[in-house]
Amino acid sequence: TLQIEDDRTGLGIETLRRAMADNLFYIQGKYPEIATKNDFYMALAYTVRDRLLKRWISTTRSYVKNDVKVVCYLSAEFLMGPQLGNNLINLDIYEQVHKAVTESGLNIEELIEQEEEPGLGNGGLGRLAACYMDSLASLEIPAIGYGIRYEFGIFDQEIRDGWQVEITDKWLQWGNPWEIHRPELAYEVKLGGHTEPYTDQYGNYRVRWIPDQVVKGIAYDTPILGYKVNTTNILRLWKAEAPESFDFQSFNVGDYYGAVNKKVVSENISKVLYPNDEQVQGKQLRLEQQYFFVSCSLQNMIRIHLDRPGKSLATFHENFAVQLNDTHPAIGVAELMRLLLDEHQFAWEQAWDITQKTFGYTNHTLLPEALEKWSINLFGKLLPRHLEIIYEINRRFLDQVRLQDPYDQGKIARLSLIDETGDRYVRMANLACVGSHAINGVAALHTELLKQTVLRDFYQLWPEKFSNKTNGVTPRRWIVLSNPGLTSLISSKIGDNWIKHLEDLRQLESFVEDSNFRQQWRQIKLENKRNLAKYIQKKTGIVINPESLFDIQVKRIHEYKRQHLNVLHIITLYNRIKHNPDLEITPRTFIFGGKAAPGYYMAKLIIKLINSVAEVVNADPCVRDRMKVVFLPDYNVTLGQRVYPAADLSEQISTAGLEASGTGNMKFSMNGALTIGTLDGANVEIRQEVGEENFFLFGLRTEEVYALKTQGYNPWSYYNSNPQLKEVIDLIASGIFSHGDTGLFRPLLDSLLHHDPFMLLADYQSYIDCQEQVSQAYRNQDNWTRMSILNVARIGKFSSDRSIQEYCQDIWQAKSLTIELEE
């Protein structure tokens, strides 16, 4: 029989080429002679999307038919990165498309680069959510990611005169081919107003919420395809609009402006991502965002559940496992209670039982300034019914606590959902703990610290609720897509099963002594470094030496992450060269990237410091190419994909006890970089896996940090007793990096000398010594390559597939379902 491939689903090269031409014509309305690169990108993206939709339909049908349990990942951020390349990998048609595109006279890499990335997240937490969506689909677990379709994502960063400047992120301006607008999938979300008690037809006490504003949430769906499977889950993001009906009153009295203004105010809710991480601001609009997307999502789950024949909400938790990605969606605990009590007439006890069985809570940070709390006043004005529900949850919860421990008033005050130590606040972490059956941290150390510090009282109350789920990252994006050279070398030796079973990388260990293999390994790294060097020259004009050691720190700029400790090392080397112009040092290129929260003054000053030091060092003839310093503007997922494969050294130098996990540390190591790091977050486990002889460890341990704090830490004594350190600090103070302005970096130096909350001075010498070991080790290229190979061979644990399997087993009780393609 003659097999003819459908233009919307076929995977043959000729079919793909025809489908692209067709989409160029019928979607973009262009023909090749006049089409822009973006037109071609769109044509290809729609070609890929058609193939995803085919799989999505089969997936949805199977989920309904098999009555599956669905994992719902609630997250205010999804930092997805560009979709085209990843979808080609997961569809397993990269090569076919490459050929089809080349035959059409185009360049696949250029087309992939056209895509504007959806920057709907700040950093670690948002990117983790994206890796987890990839693993859920790849493991064939039914899942929905729920979040907000921000019109403006994380700002674009420009550097002007060494300072960060924020530019609006207009990611939607050329259209988004990956999303499907579903205007029919809409929910109303109430805000403000007051509540009223009433008695229902059965004589039960009930409460009605009469809001003073209603907004409508509209779904936008993005298909998420798993790697070499048919499972296609959904990322469902909500956009806020004004409901038509709500304007009428204004129109009736002729208040046209007022009616339109209501629309504007409603649409503000999903307008822009808050660019702060690890720092709460307590803004009303932020609470509106959180409640808005959580309410839409829970209403959507309830509709899906009740659409299934014979289902009642009494079994909701058997069909839905809802994970709270930090406390940003924790209002969901009160919202599910409200929906069950007020809209579905459940009794309190049963509603509470369902709620607790439904939710799990993941904590991502120990920093006190990142723990969300809402002033009672603001909360009660916006969500009066939820405040009542929270008071009632709290009353019942504290009664239960008092039964166990009636005399410990301090403990009761700490466990309370309401902070009453000064102004009164709702504590979202406490709400999340009480309303969930499972609580987890994101690395072994972090989970231990959670149990000992911020969640100590909850741990004593319910030790069985706590578990660790060490973060992971997806090898599809972070190796296969971003490092094709390494991917084919690895696969040529051990086949390609490792892409789905990352532990299989262990088989690489048997090639460590193969000098030919090591040579190929080095060559690939060098190629990747050359590519990055080209990019750096294009973007910054700085010329770097690809043979030098690429020492890279990319992550959000934060004092606890200590980018300025890295700078202290750079200036230390600079001083050494100035003192001894003929000094033999291992040539290094120091590369930084990362955004600072727009209101975080110290972080912005650190960016200015890096650029100022770069300006002086790069221009100094005395340095003679032994050192270069680069600040890469606008670090994002796309740029990460260029950076990790080119790194020799990964900087993971946070103060011990403060980085919950880190995930960049895993991406570097997966691409053959060695780590210099403290015993913090997942560094501890990475070191354990790759072997301590393949990891550069320095600095105080968490207990030592705590001990030093308690005994009274005095940064001055380090400054006074360490001449090398003193010289570095004095050089910054001298104004040499600031055109003679001795005041510019004063706030940073004052903070270091008088408070140094992140203990840079205490860790300085240990860091410098460790960096010296790095420099020595790099001189033995053969041995360095051995260590690099062993890092990759032993990094399997940090696949997000492993993390997701643990969540499925221990928290979600979710099972995989293989999807067959329908004809």
Residue ranges that bind ligand 26W, judged by CB under 6 A = 122-125, 128, 276-280, 326, 364-365, 370, 372, 442, 471, 659-663, 681
Q: Give bridge partners of residue 159 from the DSSP assignment.
A: 164
Other C-beta atoms lying within 10 Å of the C-beta of residue 38:
15
Q: Taking the C-alpha atoms of 526, 527, 530 and 535 in order, what is their torsion angle to the nearest 10 degrees?
A: -140
Contacts of 95 (CB under 8 A, 6+ apart): none
Q: 74 — phi, psi (to 5°)?
A: -90, 120
Give the separation between CA 404 and CA 410, rounded to whole angstroms. 14
Taking the complex as a whole, how short is the minimal distance between the CB of residue 428 and ligand 26W, in angstroms? Answer: 9
Which residue is at the shortest CB distance from ligand 26W?
Answer: 124
For ligand 26W, which is the closer residue by CB, 10 or 124?
124
For ligand 26W, which is the closer residue by CB, 442 or 793?
442
Taking the complex as a whole, how short is the minimal distance between the CB of residue 32 and ligand 26W, in angstroms? Answer: 44
Taking the complex as a whole, how short is the minimal distance between the CB of residue 662 and ligand 26W, in angstroms? Answer: 5
Q: Are 661 and 471 in contact (CB under 8 A)?
A: yes
For ligand 26W, which is the closer residue by CB, 226 or 664?
664
Q: What 3-state DSSP class applies to 551?
A: strand
Q: Would you call 508 exposed, middle or buried from its count of C-beta atoms within 10 A (0-12, 13-18, 19+)? A: buried
Extended beta strands in 492-647, E state? 549-554, 588-593, 627-632
Taking the complex as a whole, how short is the minimal distance between the CB of residue 120 and ligand 26W, in angstroms? Answer: 13
Pairing between strand 425-427 and 373-375?
antiparallel
For ligand 26W, which is the closer residue by CB, 214 or 444?
444
Q: Would you call 213 exposed, middle or buried from its count of C-beta atoms within 10 A (0-12, 13-18, 19+)? A: middle
- Helix 723-733 × helix 746-754 angle, to 10°: 150
Taking the complex as a whole, how short is the minimal distance between the CB of residue 374 and ligand 26W, in angstroms? Answer: 11
Number of helices and strands (H, E) in the chain?
Answer: 33, 22
For ligand 26W, which is the closer residue by CB, 317 or 364?
364
For ligand 26W, which is the closer residue by CB, 188 or 448?
448
Taking the complex as a whole, how short is the minimal distance between the CB of residue 268 and ligand 26W, in angstroms? Answer: 18
Q: Are 43 and 20 in contact (CB under 8 A)?
A: yes
C-alpha dist (Å) from residue 557 to 594, 634, 676, 714: 6, 12, 18, 25
Assign 3-class secondary structure to 607-622. HHHHHHHHHHHHHCHH
Taking the complex as a whole, how short is the minimal distance between the CB of residue 684 and ligand 26W, in angstroms? Answer: 12
Q: Is 82 left (phi over 0), alpha (psi -120 to 50) or beta?
A: beta
* Residues tagged active-site: 364, 555-556, 561, 663, 667
For ligand 26W, which is the closer residue by CB, 663 or 788?
663
For ligand 26W, which is the closer residue by CB, 233 or 665?
665
Taking the complex as a whole, how short is the minimal distance between the CB of residue 77 and ligand 26W, in angstroms? Answer: 7
Give the pair of three-digit tokens for residue 813: 């009780």
- Helix 84-91 × helix 37-66 angle, to 10°: 50
Q: Would you call 615 exposed, middle or buried from its count of C-beta atoms within 10 A (0-12, 13-18, 19+)? A: middle
